[in-house]
Amino acid sequence: MNGRRTIGFVGLGHMGGPMAARLAGAGHRVVGHDLVPELLATAVAAGVEAAGSAAEVAAGADVVITMLPAGRHVLGLYREEGLLAAARPGTLFVDCSTIDVADARAAHEAAGAAGMRALDAPVSGGVVGAEAGTLTFMAGGGEAEFAEAEPVLAALGKRAVHCGGPGAGQAAKICNNMILGVSMIAVSEAFVLGERLGLSHQALYDVASAASGQCWALTTNCPVPGPVPGSPANRDYRPGFAAPLMAKDLGLAADAARAAGVATELGSRAAELYAAYAEGPGQARDFSGIVTTLREHPVPPAAGAPHTAQDGDGA
Residue ranges in contact with ligand NAD by CB under 6 A: 10-16, 33-36, 39, 54, 67-69, 73, 77, 81, 97-98, 123-124, 126-127, 241, 245, 248
Nearer to ligand NAD, 192 or 278 (CB): 278
Nearer to ligand NAD, 39 or 204 (CB): 39
Burial 188-214 (b: 16+ CB within 10 A, else e): bbbbbebeeeeeebeebbeebeeeebe
Nearer to ligand NAD, 12 or 106 (CB): 12
For ligand NAD, the nearest residue by Cβ is 13
Contact status, residue 252 vs residue 174, Cβ threshold 8 Å: yes
Contact status, residue 120 vs residue 170, Cβ threshold 8 Å: yes
Task: Report in angstroms how near the CB of residue 75 gets to ligand NAD at its nearest.
Answer: 11
Task: Report in angstroms how near the CB of residue 299 gets to ligand NAD at its nearest.
Answer: 34
173 is a catalytic site residue: yes
Task: Report in angstroms how near the CB of residue 85 gets to ligand NAD at its nearest.
Answer: 15
Task: Report in angstroms how near the CB of residue 283 gets to ligand NAD at its nearest.
Answer: 14
Nearer to ligand NAD, 14 or 269 (CB): 14
Task: Report in angstroms how near the CB of residue 37 gets to ligand NAD at its nearest.
Answer: 10
Instruction: Pick the closest to residue 255 from 119, 65, 98, 124 (CA basis).
Output: 98
Catalytic residue among 173, 245, 267, 290: 173
Task: Report in angstroms how near the CB of residue 71 gets to ligand NAD at its nearest.
Answer: 9
Nearer to ligand NAD, 20 or 182 (CB): 20
Residue count of the chain: 315
**Residues with catalytic roles:** 173
